Amino acid sequence: MSHSNNATEQVLRSSGVDVRKCMRCGKCTATCPAFDEMEYHPHQFVYMVEKGEIEKLAASPSIYKCLSCFACVDRCPRGVEPAKVVEAVRLAVIRQQGQNHMKSDDIPALLDEDMPQQLLVSAMRKYSK
């Protein structure tokens, strides 16, 4: 990730989110189904982007725990869209050469007969931009 200021600008531009609208009420986090899995929660993500802590977020496994279900977006009383911030950070990371979270060689080990193929397609789209 490049200089923190540039990284912050990139995430803000890519997400289209005005992080300053967040009042840190925590409603987004309260509705997040992946809450228990995340090191940083949706409201923390928004605040950390506002403070320019992109490097810290980029290194966190939390960016891969977000389900992109947009429950946090629906719940926000101020129209802040935390999931879009998470996706923008994840996108910035995986666009760096060799930083994809999932590679096609990883797929065979993940397969089982009950897994819908759509899940694999969605995962590849989400983790390999």
Whether the pLDDT of residue 108 is over 70: the answer is: yes
Question: In this structure, what DSSP letter does residue 104 have?
Answer: G
The Cα diameter of the chain in Å comes to 46
The whole-number average pLDDT for the span 74-83 is 95
Q: How confident is the model at residue 95 (pLDDT cuts 50, 70, 90)?
A: confident
Q: pLDDT for 34-77, tens place per residue? A: 999 999 999 999 999 999 999 999 999 999 899 889 999 999 99
Report percent pLDDT > 70 for the chain.
89
Q: Name the residue ranges covered by the structural domains of the chain.
A: 4-96, 102-129
State the average pLDDT for the chain.
87
The DSSP code for 77 is T
Place 99 in a pLDDT band, splitting at 50, 70 and 90: low
Taking a C-beta distance cutoff of 8 angstroms, is the pair 32, 70 a contact?
Answer: no
The DSSP annotation for 12-73 comes to HHHH---GGG-----HHHHH-TTGGG-SS-HHHHHHHHHTT-HHHHHTSTHHHH-----HHH
User: What's the whole-model pTM score?
Assistant: 0.75
* 4-96 has CATH 1.10.1060.10 classification: yes
